[in-house]
């Protein structure tokens, strides 16, 4: 009985320390350089410039263009943001950089096909991923031609899966499948940052994946004018969705607590029990999911969205009481 009480108290103090240290843990982000703050550097540590003299984002492959930049890193050094000043343009103020797809006329009035493509990241066939990003349309019309034409403008956000990675860090081998949601300008106000997320199921044999943000490569949507900015691009694992509702919230923590110390659920790491490591995974993922609390909303929504760490503290306190009753 004595050892059981000691274990219970120790467990509680450990959880309290974690709960009252918000911001120390982060979700399992698979993508490298999704905030575009890291710059490609040469052997001497100097920025690598493209043919237009612009700094380049580390961790990405991109269309460059010959007479005009199809893609750009938007940052103070490049001084190529929508306002034409040197302030950069970051979606949440946590940095200065973002990425842009630019309209360049193909000669037919449609934009030249252009894209940003990420380095490969490892995925587990059959697992669920949350693909999320911030974006802004700048001068992109709703439709091609007159209103009601039905030919929409915007971009495609793809996660593609393969079974190998090449020496340059990109995907290669056999194509195993993709998810290709289209984001249309008609659905979003121009000149405002928006956030969006998708639930992605990794296909069979899809051991490596990448993402591609593109415009005018697929139809629809197209671009006939303007620019599209991206920031805070994330691909997160969704391991702590214990109630299988495609989001990680308080209900999942309750299931973890109910299963604590047993193999009846609440397991994120495949060790056949529900324990402290699974709680840490829940905390990392709290707020992820389609329709769940957005852990990093755009600036315009900050005042309307409760702070996730406060919610974690409140929920965690309730769970500590439950665990204490169970361990007594």
User: Cα(268)–Cα(278) distance, rounded to whole angstroms?
Assistant: 5
* Helix, strand, coil share (%) of the chain residues, nearest 5: 20, 30, 50
| Residue with the two structure tokens 């665990």 | 323
Distance CA 86, CA 3 (A): 62
Question: Does 289 or 231 have the greater pLDDT score?
Answer: 231
Residue that is last in its domain, among 214, 237, 260: 237
The CATH number of the domain where 199 resides is what? 2.60.120.260
- Residue 311, pLDDT above cutoff 90: no
276 and 159 together in one domain: no
Last residue of a domain, one of 212, 237, 262: 237
Q: Are residues 129 and 224 in the same domain?
A: yes
- The number of helix segments (H) and strand segments (E) in the chain equals 4, 14
165 domain-assigned? yes
**Are residues 93 and 223 both part of a single domain?**
yes
d(Cα 145, Cα 141) in Å, to the nearest integer?
Answer: 9
- Read off the tokens for 30: 């698979």
Looking at residue 165, what DSSP letter applies? E
Q: Are 190 and 256 members of one domain?
A: no
Are 159 and 204 within one domain? yes
Alpha helices in the chain (DSSP H): 2-19, 250-259, 276-285, 308-327
Could you give the CA distance from residue 209 to residue 121 in angstroms, rounded to a whole number?
5
- In Å, what is the CA distance from 144 to each residue of 149, 152, 262, 281? 7, 6, 58, 46
For residue 50, is it within any domain?
A: no
Sequence-separated (6 or more) residues with CB below 8 Å from residue 64: 50, 51, 52, 70, 71
Asked if 68 contacts 54 with a C-beta cutoff of 8 angstroms, the reply is no
In a domain, 317, yes or no: yes
Q: What is the pLDDT of residues 25-75, one digit of tens each?
A: 566 789 999 999 999 999 999 999 999 999 999 999 999 999 999 999 999
Q: How confident is the model at residue 292 (pLDDT cuts 50, 70, 90)?
A: low
Mean pLDDT over each residue of the chain, to the nearest integer? 82
For residue 313, pLDDT over 60 is answered with no
Q: Using the predicted structure, report yes or no on whether residue 324 has a pLDDT greater than 70.
A: no
Say if CB 149 and CB 143 are below 8 A apart: yes
Evaluate whether 248 touches 308 at the Cβ level (below 8 Å).
no
Does a structural domain hold residue 72? yes
Write down the pLDDT at residue 56: 95
124-159 per-position pLDDT tens digit: 999 989 999 999 999 999 998 767 778 899 999 999
Does residue 159 share a domain with residue 289? no
In this structure, the answer to whether residues 277 and 213 fall within a common structural domain is: no
The mean per-residue pLDDT over the stretch 256-276 comes to 82
Look at residue 291 and tell me whether its pLDDT is greater than 80.
no
For residue 128, give the 3-state DSSP assignment: strand
**Which of 324, 326, 235 is CA-nearest to residue 288?**
235
Task: Return the pLDDT at 28.
Answer: 76
- 90 in any annotated domain: yes
In a domain, 99, yes or no: yes
Supply the angle between the helices 308-327 and 250-259 in degrees, to the nearest 10: 20
According to the model, what pLDDT value does residue 155 have? 97
Instruction: Say what the pLDDT of residue 300 is.
Output: 36
Q: Which of 9-23, 179-193, 250-264 is most confident?
A: 179-193
Number of domains in the chain: 2
Has residue 47 been placed in a domain?
A: no
Last residue of a domain, one of 237, 266, 287: 237
CA dihedral (168, 118, 218, 84) positive or negative: negative
The residue range of the domain holding 120 is 60-237
My answer on whether 271 and 214 are in the same domain is: no
* 310 falls within a domain: yes
Residues 228 and 249 in one domain: no
């Amino acid at each position: 009985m004595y050892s059981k009480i000691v274990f219970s108290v120790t467990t509680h103090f450990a959880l309290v320390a974690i709960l009252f240290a918000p911001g120390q843990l982060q979700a399992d982000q698979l993508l490298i350089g999704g905030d575009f703050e890291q710059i490609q550097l040469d052997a001497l540590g100097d920025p690598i410039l493209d043919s237009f003299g612009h700094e380049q984002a580390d961790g990405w492959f991109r269309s460059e263009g010959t007479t005009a930049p199809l893609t750009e890193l938007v940052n103070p050094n490049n001084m190529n943001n929508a306002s034409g000043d040197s302030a950069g343009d970051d979606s949440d103020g946590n940095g200065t950089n973002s990425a842009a797809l630019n309209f360049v006329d193909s000669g037919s009035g449609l934009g030249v096909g252009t894209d940003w493509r990420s380095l490969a990241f490892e995925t587990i066939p059959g697992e669920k991923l949350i693909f999320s990003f911030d974006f802004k349309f700048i001068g992109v019309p709703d439709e091609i031609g007159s209103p009601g034409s039905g030919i929409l403008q915007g971009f495609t956000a793809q996660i593609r899966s393969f079974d190998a990675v090449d020496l340059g860090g990109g995907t290669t081998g056999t194509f195993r499948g993709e998810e290709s949601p289209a984001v249309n300008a008609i659905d979003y106000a121009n000149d405002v940052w928006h956030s969006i997320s998708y639930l992605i199921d990794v296909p069979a044999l899809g051991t490596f994946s990448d993402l591609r943000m593109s415009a005018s490569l697929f139809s629809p949507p197209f671009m006939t004018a303007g620019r599209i900015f991206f920031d805070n691009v994330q691909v997160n694992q969704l391991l702590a969705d214990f109630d299988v509702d495609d989001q990680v919230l308080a209900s999942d923590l309750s299931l973890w607590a109910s299963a604590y110390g047993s193999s009846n659920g609440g397991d994120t790491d495949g060790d056949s029990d529900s324990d402290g490591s699974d709680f840490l995974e829940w905390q990392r993922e709290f707020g992820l999911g389609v329709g769940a609390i957005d852990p990093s909303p755009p600036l315009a929504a900050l005042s309307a969205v409760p702070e996730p760490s406060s919610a974690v503290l409140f929920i965690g306190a309730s769970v500590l009481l439950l665990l204490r009753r169970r361990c007594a």
